[in-house]
Structure 1
């Protein structure tokens, strides 16, 4: 099977995709982005995914990986973040496979981004316990042990019990919290210190990788953190979801399955 696949990244505001060269770990053509339909119902999003795929000339048997902002268990959405709540309980694999005519592999968005970083980015060659975090509207997490993904960790939703009315750590420490509470990077780093110290205590990881759009400003806050664990910025940034989804779809296709099991 050729080392190629197609990746699609579904987000609350945009759906973007491109074919991926899995030897190089990079897009093999320019990506296409289509605004996420509003309301972002299953039928409307499925139509948009089909529209995006139809814009490319790809073989029918090319593996297609799709990220989705939800807990994904055996292809089924068990939550819905930044998309219509009608997705909860939807078999996303089956819906997109039927609508597009391609075998589709669906994965949690943070897990896809983490997989890309482990295969081609900051985690390449690391064999221990690695936690990838994406700092954005929320905090996405992906955990890898010996290179194997532990899916749907959702560690941004660990309960927060400190000062203030914050229900979980992502409400307190995500990049959106920095903007909302008008924090400078030093003040935000104090919140991140608490979060990463908790993860360090719970899991004793060998490496933290920090992604999300704000990671391009990593020099403003990562050096302020005092941790035993090495912490480094992600390398693939906005393309990580597409690349990771394509990579996971390729491996799933080789094993004769189209969703995480």
Structure 2
């Protein structure tokens, strides 16, 4: 099966694409994400129909759907979605009934990580951990060439690895998760703290005053300009990500860590403090094999490419 459909349901948009078996996007569409779950389902069904209509006559392409939340191990039921009113939603069953073809559903970070493993920054290794640094922190694990989902399908929630016992409250209900120290939201908090302190934070403070508040794009631009305050915030962020990665390495022993998401656009400026902190916290350093650290390659296309390929894999394994 050369082509498959990948659909990535985000908080503001639904991105879809027909993807070939080399991970190349053949055609794509984007529509706003409806707030109502029934309208969202209609939008996904319409997108699938549009893609199939554009393919060769009679072709029924397998569909992979990626969404944030807990998905069961059968790639079928959404236990819980943070941005959609889904609770134990049999989304795969509903889509298959309406489209007449094979559909698989997976976590969005799993889909992005799988895309990087198959076609991007992780394609030359068998064991990989991906951390997606956006508003929160997403994660994906590939072990022995297989995507790790856990016994119930809700594994690899790496953003909720606890790095600070009793630390900052997290939206998951716990305290001290890496999401509160290694995300884009955390970077903004650190930048504001540095702005409040004066000194190297003077430029951050000035921009904040001019703009009313600091935005992620402001901090990103100052990082690229080499502003010492913004770089200090990024180094704090990298420290926590490196410490979390060292804990993950002790359990998973990956050959490669891949970092994606908007903050990863800082490239080596982010990777350098991550590496330093990782090696400072790696158990048995000097005797433990050392992974490498790279930036994700597929950027905004990872979700749809990974979802399509996961559908292709499911069909291959069940035919």
Please give the range of the TM-score, normalised by the shorter of the 2 chains. 0.7 to 0.9
Q: 3-state DSSP class of the match of 1:255? A: helix
Q: How does 1:39-78 map to 2 (within 5 A)?
A: 39=36, 41=37, 43-56=38-51, 57=53, 58=55, 59-73=58-72, 74=74, 75-78=76-79
Conserved 8 A contact 2:128-2:258:
yes
The 3 A distance-change label for structure 1 pair 253 and 192 is: same
2:315 to 234, 253, 260: 253
| 2-structure distance, mates of 1:47, 1:106 | 16
Match 2:296 to one of 234, 238, 244: 234
8 Å Cα contact 1:132/1:211 also seen in 2 = yes
Tell me the residue number matched to 1:33.
30
Shift of 1:130: 1.2
Q: Which residue is equivalent to 2:164? A: 161
1:96 offset after TM fit, Å? Answer: 1.9
Deviates more, 1:43-52 or 1:243-252: 43-52
- CA distance in structure 2 between the partners assigned to 1:172 and 1:147 by the alignment: 30
Moved runs in structure 1, 4+ residues, more than 6 A? none
**Does 71-80 or 238-247 show the bigger shift?**
71-80
Query: Per chain length, whose mean CA-contact separation is higher, i.e. which structure has more relative contact order (CA < 8 Å, sep 6+)?
Result: 1
Which range moved further: 133-142 or 191-200? Answer: 191-200
Alignment match, 1:243: 305
Specify the SS of the correspondent of 1:173.
Answer: coil
Residue 237 (structure 2) pairs with residue 191 (structure 1): yes
- Aligned length, in residue pairs: 249
Task: Give the match for residue 116 of structure 2.
Answer: 117
- Partner in structure 1 of residue 103 of structure 2: 104
Q: Which residue in the other structure is 1:8 paired with? A: 7
Alignment of 1:135-150 (within 5 A): 135-150=133-148
SS in 1 for 2:64: strand
* In 2, Cα distance between equivalents of 1:115 and 1:80: 20
Tell me if structure 2 keeps the 8 A contact 1:65–1:106: yes
Structure 1 residues 182 and 163: CA distance shift in structure 2, 3 A: farther
